[in-house]
Structure 1
Amino acid sequence: MKVLSVFFVIWTLLLARSTIVGFAVDYFESEPYEESLLTTENGTIVATDATSTEINSRYRGVVITNNKNHIDLSESTIDDIIELNVGGQRITTFRSTLTAVPNSKLAALFAKNVSKPKSKHFFDYNPVLFGHLLDQLRAIKRGPQVPAYELNFAAPNSSVPFDFSTMLVELGLSSDYFLYPSKGAHLNLTLKSLIGWKQCFREKYDKPFDSKVLTGPCKGRRLLVACRSTNDTRTLILAGVGKREDIFFPCSPNSHCRVEKKNGTGFYYAQDHAWGFEGALNTLQEVRNDHVDYRHNFGLQGGLVGYRQNQGLQGGLILNPCDSSDQNSEYRLCWSLRSISDRGGGDRCGSSKNLHNTRQWERVIYQTV
């Protein structure tokens, strides 16, 4: 009996010792490759083939529990390979590449919480264009994080920009999918059409505008500056979008003040005088008329050369104290910065002028979310 007891104790100790070096291993699934088993030895990950070597180097798709050395890789680091059929051509890439732009339609298709489809994904696009898009997505996921609406995907050559743009729209990768409008000046813009904007300021025209709003509650990377009638608060009569670095373009408080338009909108700031923007002209005839008007007012010489810049035009203002020009008037917004007792008026919303004493018009500013 004593011999049996000693044998049982020794056997129990040996069994306990053997479990100390035990480990649990998950498998990495990667079609069309076979499953690659990853094992550990003394806490070191050992890959069994070239595919898992690449995975091992990035800790992709592996969760290893070692009783001696515990390695717990978070879900965010797990990545797997996705096989696509693009226009009849097989393309293989990482899931992290396809989800490099969060909240896009493409990212939603390959989100981790989406159940694995029984068949491979098929995209009816030109494989060359799609491959060019993947290259840019790879650069995005490895580069510094920027807002999705500031991403600028470029077509591989000028002969296929339409097809490439269509692909971006359908995959939810166009800038307007994340932010609308993302640039320019717009007439009669409905609130329902706004995407990615949050209101940060609102007041009636009978109060003077305080420019500290632009460095206080409205600190977004981009601003949408608008005006509307209180009779219809669901429609912005005029709205202009500008980047923060452009909304304080210096402008002298006199009739020779000129603005520099970028992406269809030219903001200006005349200190202690006025703040606003002038929208871009829409047609070549308007450009010609605008040019003639400024030549007449300021005695300028020359042709249209130099007026186009950054998809916009260089414009001119007649500040008294706000912009009172009638040229392309519907695209002009101006808010005076003078005190309520000495501001002199002139505030405008498009073609409607001298609104400084009315409560029937409102100023509204939105910033990017």
Structure 2
Amino acid sequence: MQWGLIGASTIAAEHMIGAIRAQNGHSVKAVLSANAERGAGFASAHGIPSSTASLDEMLSDDDIGAVYISATNEKHLPQAMAAIAAGKHVMCEKPLAMSAADAAKMVSAAEEAGVLLATNHHLRNAGSHLAIKALIQDGKLGEVLSVRIFHAVLLPEHLRGWRLSDSAAGGGVIPDIVVHDADTVRFHLEEDPQEVVAMESHGSLSRGAEDGAMSVWRMPSGVQVMTHESFTHPFAPSGFEVHGTKGSVIARNVMTQRPVGEIALITAAGSREVSFANHGLYDRSLALFADALNGNGQPSATGVDGVKSLAVAEAVKQAAVTGRAVTIDYHGV
């Protein structure tokens, strides 16, 4: 499979190009950038044969069978729909679109076209989160009572552009991080949040878009979920906690793109460290995508997963703005 990169992005450079090339028989043929000079420089720096500023040119290339979309969020829908119409398989960055309703349109279009649509939710591919899920499934925690997520970090300086200033492009901590946390909760609990309450903040880094949020979610099972997301916390470790009737999992520094962190399982017998695999998160995601292309299984995070994570984030934003509890609309997916 030869790939086209739609977006000469940081995540493509730091994670996805290597993950694509790590799959047997997969390569990157072209990169698209609205800035032709930037695209050419990106292609040269990463050994990509060609670059273009034309989406139509990329999608008309019959050698390209799949695209990875990492442009700014407001471009995801038209780019994905064009790629699907051209018969290309799509791996798209989160959020899939600017609204869950539009993301659901992408899912329907891909199903009708018979192509694969996946969402690049990396955390469910982490060895740490796979280990946590195994503890839940094996009954080590008993009945799950609550989940707490700490995803307050300091946004790196090289990313302090549209994420802080341009809500129209999908900026803000809610579309950037809450979607990840929503997907991670859904992955672990295997149920969809029903209702949320939330507050947002416009702090030291905000130039228009929110740079902090806190929310509480109600799950169908009765589990309560508490989340904290921020771009402004330079010294706060990230964390994921699951508390049950027989035990608790306390994980630190696992809300990251890297295979790092620590996990402790605490039960009546005491506390013990939990080991986990240290494979690349994006390598696993692309491996599952490649398997799905060959008819084996499905992507780690499907298009439906992308719709649902976005629907939760959308509800968190609405709750934060209105000050009211919001029931989540999954648009029939």
TM-score (norm 1): 0.24
Q: Which structure's residues are more often helix, by fraction?
A: 2
**Quick one: higher RCO (CA 8 Å, sep 6+), 1 or 2?**
2
